[in-house]
C-alpha cells in the first residue's frame, strides 16, 4: 500500500530485563539474556504489492525506541511493505522510513503501530578489540532468530564505512541482524559473508554508522518504503544543493483526468530545469488522510483509486509543503461498472471473523451481519477479519490477472483501501478468495482513534469494476452485566485474556486520556494482585507463566496520574506442558487420506464411493467418518434436507491396514435438494485400532471434489 497509514496492530511482547543484567555473566554465556535479547530481533519478509508472495527475507532489530527498527538497505530495497515476525511468533508491519543510505547499506524504519518491543542497548563507544567474543542473532534461510557465537577477527574501514569482521556463522537471511558484545550491547549490523577455502568470513557494519544516521534524521519526516529509492535520490540532491543552489520553480497548468475506472493522469507545467522533484498528494474529498507519490517528470499516473469518488490532487516541491500545496485540482471518477471479465458470476461475498491463520469453513455460512467492537479488536490479534468471496468464471485461453481493491467505508463516511493482485487460471471453475482485512482495521484505528460503532460498507473491485459489496453493523462492546462500554474506566471496558504459545495474552480497548496502563496478576480471583509491568499500548504478553495453572489479571488505566481498573479481572488457564504439541501432533498424523478416484452415480441417482487410503506405515484404522456437501451447476450450496442443513456425515466401521486402499460403499446423495453437479468430501474423524480417535476440526477439513457429468 502506498499510503502512510497503519496496517496492523498486534499483541506486543514486552522484554522487561536488560540482556545480561541479572546474572552478571558475560553475554555469550548468559542464555537467559540471549533469549531475552532475541525477543527484539525480528525476521523480515519484504513484500512488493505487485507480487503475490514476499520478494526478500532478512533480519532487523528494535533500537532507539520501541517503534524503530534497524536493518540493511539491501534487505528492504524494492519493497512496499515489511512483515516482521518476532521470536514469539507475533507479526508487526513496517512501511515507513525514518532514514536510509544505500552507500552505507542501512535503513531505519518506523513500525506502523507501537510494537511494545524493548529496544536493544547500543554500544556507540567503539571500544571493541580483535579477539573479543561476539554473539550474532538473525534469521538465516528463514530460520527465525538463530544464535551463533564467535570472535572479532578484524576492524577496518572501506569507502569511509566502518566494518567489523567476525567468526560467528551467518548465512543468507542474516542480513540486518544484531551483533552483540560481551555486555549484551549491539556493536554491529550483520551484513554479508564469504566462504573461501573453508573459512567463514563474516562482516557487520559498525553500529556507530546507524547511530549517526539516526541522529541526523528528521524523525517526523517519514517516507513510504515504496519511495525508498526516491528518498536516496532526494538525500543526494540535498547534498548537491550545498554547492549547487536549487533553481526557483513556477508550477502551472496543474490538471487531472480519468484514464481508466481506477486510474488518473495528472500533469503540470514548470519553468524549472528538467530533473526537479515534485510531490503529488491525493485524497478522497472529506477523507481523514492523504496519499502521495513523487516524481522528476511533469506528469504521472496514479492507480488504485476508488471508482465513483471525487478526488482532490495537489502538488508541492517537498513532502512538508504538501500540507500547504502550490496548486490543487479535483476530479470526479465515473461510477463503476459490474465486473464481467470471462463471464464472471459472483456466487458469495461476505466478511468473516476467523480464527487466526485458519481457512474459512466449507461450505461457507453467511457472512457477518453484526459484530461487537471488542470482537473486531480481537481480529487484530488472535483472530482475523477476512473478506471472502467466491466467483465463477468461464473457460479462457489465458489466465486472468489484474488489480484487486478492497474498500471499507466507516459509519462516518471515511474510506480505507487495500490493494492486491488477483490471479485466476484459464480453466472454467469457481474460485474462492479470502484477504486479511486487519490492515484496513489498523488504518481505521490510526486515523479515527477507535473502531466506530454503526453500519460499515465493504466493496471489492477488479480493475476498477465492482465485483461485489456487502454491509455489516458494528455494535458497542458489552460488559459482563450487559451494559454498554464507555470510554472511561469503570464503564464496562472489556479486558480479554487467553493462552497462546506458552504465554498469557491480554488486550483491552483504549481509555481516553490514559497516559499508560498498569498490569497486575493473581493466582486466585480474590487474592492479592501483584504488579507486573506497565505499557502505553493496549495489549500485553505475560511469558512468566507456568503450564497447567490458572491466572487472574487486572489492568488499570492511569488518567491524570490516577489509576483505575478498566474492567473486572480476566482469567486465563494455561495448558499443561505438551498439551498443545500433542494436539498438533495428533492432527498432523492423520493416517487416512481420500484418494484421487471415486465411483459416482448420475443426476437421477446421485451417490459417491471414494477411495480411502491408509497412508500410515504402521497404524491400523478400525473406523472413520466422512463429511459431504454438494452444489448445483452454479456453485450454490444445496441443503441436505428440508431442515436446511448443508453438511451430512456418514460413519463407517471398517478395518484398513497400513498402505491399503478401500471403497467403503455407496453414499446416497439423493437427500440433497436440487440438481447436484459438484460433490465435496472430507475426513471428519478417524478411529485407530487402539481405540483412540482423531477428530479433524471443522476449520481444518480438506475437501476433495468431483463433478457429475
Mean of pLDDT values over 68-72: 95
Q: What is the DSSP string of 312-370?
A: EEEEESSTGGGGS-SEEEEEEPPPPPBP-GGG-EEEEEEEEEEETT-PPPSSPPP--SE
Question: Are residues 106 and 204 located together in one domain of the fold?
Answer: yes
Selected residue with higher pLDDT from 611 and 50? 611
Question: Are residues 167 and 101 located together in one domain of the fold?
Answer: yes
Mean of pLDDT values over 327-348: 93
How far is 351 from 414, CA to CA, in rounded Å? 19
Please state the length of the chain.
709
CATH code of 354's domain: 2.60.40.10
Residue 339 in this model has a pLDDT that exceeds 90: yes
Where do we find the cell 504459545?
A: 501
The pLDDT value recorded for residue 607 is 92
Question: Are residues 53 and 202 located together in one domain of the fold?
Answer: yes
Give 331's pLDDT tier (boundaries 50, 70, 90): very high
Give 248's pLDDT tier (boundaries 50, 70, 90): low
Q: What is the pLDDT of residues 550-581, one digit of tens each?
A: 888 989 888 888 888 887 888 887 776 544 44
The pLDDT value recorded for residue 562 is 83
Q: 245-251 long-range CB contacts below 8 Å, 24 or more apart?
A: 247/272, 247/273, 247/276, 248/272, 249/276, 249/317, 251/278, 251/315, 251/326, 251/327
Residue 280 in this model has a pLDDT that exceeds 60: yes
Give 26's pLDDT tier (boundaries 50, 70, 90): confident
390 in a structural domain: yes
Mean of pLDDT values over 181-205: 79
Question: Are residues 364 and 327 located together in one domain of the fold?
Answer: no
Mean of pLDDT values over 399-406: 90
Question: Are residues 320 and 361 located together in one domain of the fold?
Answer: no
Selected residue with higher pLDDT from 288 and 404? 404
The pLDDT value recorded for residue 235 is 52
CATH code of 153's domain: 2.40.10.120
Contact predicate 388/372, CB 8 Å = no
What's the Rg (C-alpha) of the chain?
29
Of 309, 456, 458, 443, the C-alpha closest to 389 is 458
Give 51's pLDDT tier (boundaries 50, 70, 90): low
Mean of pLDDT values over 135-150: 89
Q: Does a cis peptide bond (omega within 30 degrees of 0) precede residue 355?
A: no
The pLDDT value recorded for residue 155 is 85
CATH code of 598's domain: 2.60.40
The pLDDT value recorded for residue 147 is 92
SS3 483: coil
User: Of the ranges 14-18, 428-432, 500-504, 580-584, which is most confident?
Assistant: 428-432
**Residue 286 Ramachandran class (φ > 0 left, ψ -120 to 50 alpha, else beta):** left
488 in a structural domain: no
The pLDDT value recorded for residue 432 is 83
SS3 107: strand
Q: What is the pLDDT of residues 218-227, one digit of tens each?
A: 888 888 888 8
Strands 370-372 and 383-393: unpaired
Residue 520 in this model has a pLDDT that exceeds 80: yes
Q: Would you state the torsion angle of the CA atoms of residues 156, 157, 161, 165, taken in this order, to the nearest 10 degrees?
A: -20
647 in a structural domain: yes
Mean of pLDDT values over 201-226: 88
Question: Are residues 255 and 388 located together in one domain of the fold?
Answer: no
- Provide the domain count of the chain: 5
Q: What is the pLDDT of residues 444-459, one digit of tens each?
A: 877 777 789 999 999 9
Question: Are residues 458 and 544 located together in one domain of the fold?
Answer: no
Where do we find the cell 442443513?
A: 645
491 in a structural domain: no
The percent of residues in the chain predicted with pLDDT above 90, rounded, is 35
| CA atoms within 13 Å, Cβ hemisphere of 68 | 20
Helix residue ranges, H only, 500-629:
579-588
Question: Are residues 638 and 670 located together in one domain of the fold?
Answer: yes
The pLDDT value recorded for residue 194 is 64
Mean of pLDDT values over 10-17: 25
The pLDDT value recorded for residue 587 is 45
Residue 4 in this model has a pLDDT that exceeds 80: no
User: Of the ranges 266-275, 451-460, 491-500, which is most confident?
Assistant: 451-460
Give 613's pLDDT tier (boundaries 50, 70, 90): very high
Greatest CA separation found in the chain? 87
422 in a structural domain: yes
464 in a structural domain: yes
pTM of the model: 0.54
Strand-pair partners of 614 = 592
Selected residue with higher pLDDT from 364 and 20? 364
Q: Which of 13-22, 137-146, 274-283, 684-693 has the lowest mean pLDDT?
A: 13-22
Question: Are residues 393 and 522 located together in one domain of the fold?
Answer: no
Give 196's pLDDT tier (boundaries 50, 70, 90): very low
Mean of pLDDT values over 96-122: 90
Q: Which of 163, 195, 216 is the last residue of a domain?
A: 216
The pLDDT value recorded for residue 382 is 61
The pLDDT value recorded for residue 198 is 40
The one-character DSSP state at 122 is B
How far is 662 from 341, CA to CA, in rounded Å? 43
Give the helix, strand, coil percentages of the chain, each rounded to 5: 10, 45, 45
Selected residue with higher pLDDT from 280 and 227? 280
Residue 609 in this model has a pLDDT that exceeds 90: yes
202 in a structural domain: yes
Give 199's pLDDT tier (boundaries 50, 70, 90): low
Contact predicate 684/623, CB 8 Å = no
The pLDDT value recorded for residue 356 is 65
Q: What value does the mean pLDDT of the chain take?
A: 82
Q: Which of 303, 332, 361 is the last residue of a domain?
A: 332
Question: Are residues 92 and 189 located together in one domain of the fold?
Answer: yes
Residue 490 in this model has a pLDDT that exceeds 70: no
The pLDDT value recorded for residue 9 is 22
User: Of the ranges 481-485, 486-490, 645-649, 656-660, which is most confident?
Assistant: 656-660
The pLDDT value recorded for residue 686 is 93
The one-character DSSP state at 121 is P
The pLDDT value recorded for residue 316 is 92
Q: Which of 332, 365, 385 is the last residue of a domain?
A: 332
The pLDDT value recorded for residue 501 is 61
What backbone torsions phi and psi does residue 158 show, to the nearest 5 degrees? -135, 125
Contact predicate 686/620, CB 8 Å = no
Strand-pair partners of 134 = 150
Q: What is the pLDDT of residues 293-324, one digit of tens each?
A: 888 889 999 999 999 999 999 999 887 788 88
The domain containing residue 421 runs over which residues? Answer: 341-475
Mean of pLDDT values over 660-679: 89
Question: Are residues 269 and 370 located together in one domain of the fold?
Answer: no
359 in a structural domain: yes
Q: What is the pLDDT of residues 463-481, one digit of tens each?
A: 999 999 999 999 987 543 3
Question: Are residues 63 and 186 located together in one domain of the fold?
Answer: yes
Amino acid at each position: 500500500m502506498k499510503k502512510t497509514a497503519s496496517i496492523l496492530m498486534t499483541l506486543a511482547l514486552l522484554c522487561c530485563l536488560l540482556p545480561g543484567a541479572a546474572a552478571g555473566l558475560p553475554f555469550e554465556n548468559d542464555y537467559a539474556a540471549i533469549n531475552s535479547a532475541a525477543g527484539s530481533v525480528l525476521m523480515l519478509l519484504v513484500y512488493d504489492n505487485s507480487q503475490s508472495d514476499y520478494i526478500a527475507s532478512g533480519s532487523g532489530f528494535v533500537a532507539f525506541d520501541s517503534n524503530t527498527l534497524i536493518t540493511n538497505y539491501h534487505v528492504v530495497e524494492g519493497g512496499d511493505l515489511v512483515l516482521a515476525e518476532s521470536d514469539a511468533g507475533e507479526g508487526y508491519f513496517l512501511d515507513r522510513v525514518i532514514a536510509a543510505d544505500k552507500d552505507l547499506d542501512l535503513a531505519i524504519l518506523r513500525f506502523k503501530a507501537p510494537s511494545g518491543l524493548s529496544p536493544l542497548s547500543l554500544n556507540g563507544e567503539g571500544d571493541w578489540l580483535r579477539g573479543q567474543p561476539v554473539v550474532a542473532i538473525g534469521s538465516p534461510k528463514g530460520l527465525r532468530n538463530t544464535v551463533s557465537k564467535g570472535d572479532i577477527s578484524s576492524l577496518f574501514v572501506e569507502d569511509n564505512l566502518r566494518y567489523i569482521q567476525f567468526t560467528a556463522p551467518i548465512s543468507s537471511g542474516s542480513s540486518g541482524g544484531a551483533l552483540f558484545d560481551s555486555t549484551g550491547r549491539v556493536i554491529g549490523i550483520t551484513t554479508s559473508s564469504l566462504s573461501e577455502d573453508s573459512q567463514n568470513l563474516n562482516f557487520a557494519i559498525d553500529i556507530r554508522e546507524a547511530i549517526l544516521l539516526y541522529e541526523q534524521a528528521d524523525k517526523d519526516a517519514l517516507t513510504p518504503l515504496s519511495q525508498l529509492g526516491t528518498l536516496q535520490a532526494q538525500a543526494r540532491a540535498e547534498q548537491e544543493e550545498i554547492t549547487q543552489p536549487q533553481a526557483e520553480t513556477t508550477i502551472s497548468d496543474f490538471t487531472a483526468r480519468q484514464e481508466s475506472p481506477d486510474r488518473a493522469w495528472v500533469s503540470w507545467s514548470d519553468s524549472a530545469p528538467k530533473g526537479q522533484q515534485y510531490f503529488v498528494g491525493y485524497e478522497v474529498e472529506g477523507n481523514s488522510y492523504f496519499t502521495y507519490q513523487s516524481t522528476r517528470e511533469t506528469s504521472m499516473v496514479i492507480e488504485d483509486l476508488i471508482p465513483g469518488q471525487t478526488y482532490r490532487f495537489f502538488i508541492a516541491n517537498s513532502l512538508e509543503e504538501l500540507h500547504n500545496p502550490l496548486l490543487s485540482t479535483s476530479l470526479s471518477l465515473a461510477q463503476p461498472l459490474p465486473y464481467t471479465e470471462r463471464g464472471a458470476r459472483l456466487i458469495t461475498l461476505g466478511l468473516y471473523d476467523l480464527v487466526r491463520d485458519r481457512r474459512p469453513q466449507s461450505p461457507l455460512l453467511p457472512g457477518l451481519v453484526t459484530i461487537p467492537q471488542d470482537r473486531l479488536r480481537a481480529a487484530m490479534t488472535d483472530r482475523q477479519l477476512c473478506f471472502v468471496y467466491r466467483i465463477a468464471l468461464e473457460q479462457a485461453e489465458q489466465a486472468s490477472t489484474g488489480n484487486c481493491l478492497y474498500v471499507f467505508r466507516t459509519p462516518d463516511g471515511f474510506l480505507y483501501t487495500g490493494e492486491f493482485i488477483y490471479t485466476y487460471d484459464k480453466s472454467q471453475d469457481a474460485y474462492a478468495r479470502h484477504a486479511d482485512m486487519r490492515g484496513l482495521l489498523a488504518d481505521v484505528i490510526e486515523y479515527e482513534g477507535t473502531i466506530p460503532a454503526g453500519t460499515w460498507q465493504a466493496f471489492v473491485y477488479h480493475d476498477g469494476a465492482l465485483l461485489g459489496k456487502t454491509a455489516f453493523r458494528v455494535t458497542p462492546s458489552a460488559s459482563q452485566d450487559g451494559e454498554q462500554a464507555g470510554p472511561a474506566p469503570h464503564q464496562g471496558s472489556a479486558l480479554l485474556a487467553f493462552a497462546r504459545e506458552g504465554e498469557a495474552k491480554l488486550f483491552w480497548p483504549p481509555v481516553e486520556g490514559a497516559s499508560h496502563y498498569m498490569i497486575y496478576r493473581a493466582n486466585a480471583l480474590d487474592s492479592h494482585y501483584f504488579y507486573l509491568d506497565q505499557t502505553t499500548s493496549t495489549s500485553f504478553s505475560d511469558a512468566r507463566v507456568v503450564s497447567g495453572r490458572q491466572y487472574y489479571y487486572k489492568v488499570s488505566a492511569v488518567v491524570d496520574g490516577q489509576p483505575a481498573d478498566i474492567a473486572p479481572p480476566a482469567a486465563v488457564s494455561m495448558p499443561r506442558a505438551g498439551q498443545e504439541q500433542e494436539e498438533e501432533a495428533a492432527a498432523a498424523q492423520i493416517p487416512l487420506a481420500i484418494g484421487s478416484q471415486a465411483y459416482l452415480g448420475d443426476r437421477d441417482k446421485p451417490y459417491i464411493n471414494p477411495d480411502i487410503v491408509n497412508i500410515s506405515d504402521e497404524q491400523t484404522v478400525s473406523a472413520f467418518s466422512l463429511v459431504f456437501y454438494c452444489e448445483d451447476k452454479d456453485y450454490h450450496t444445496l441443503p441436505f434436507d428440508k431442515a436446511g442443513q448443508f453438511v451430512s456425515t456418514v460413519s463407517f466401521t471398517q478395518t484398513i491396514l497400513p498402505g491399503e486402499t478401500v471403497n467403503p460403499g455407496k453414499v446416497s446423495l439423493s437427500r440433497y435438494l436440487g440438481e447436484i453437479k459438484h460433490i465435496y468430501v472430507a475426513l471428519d474423524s478417524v478411529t485407530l485400532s487402539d481405540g483412540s480417535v482423531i477428530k479433524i476440526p471443522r476449520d481444518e477439513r480438506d475437501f476433495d471434489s468431483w463433478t457429475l457429468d
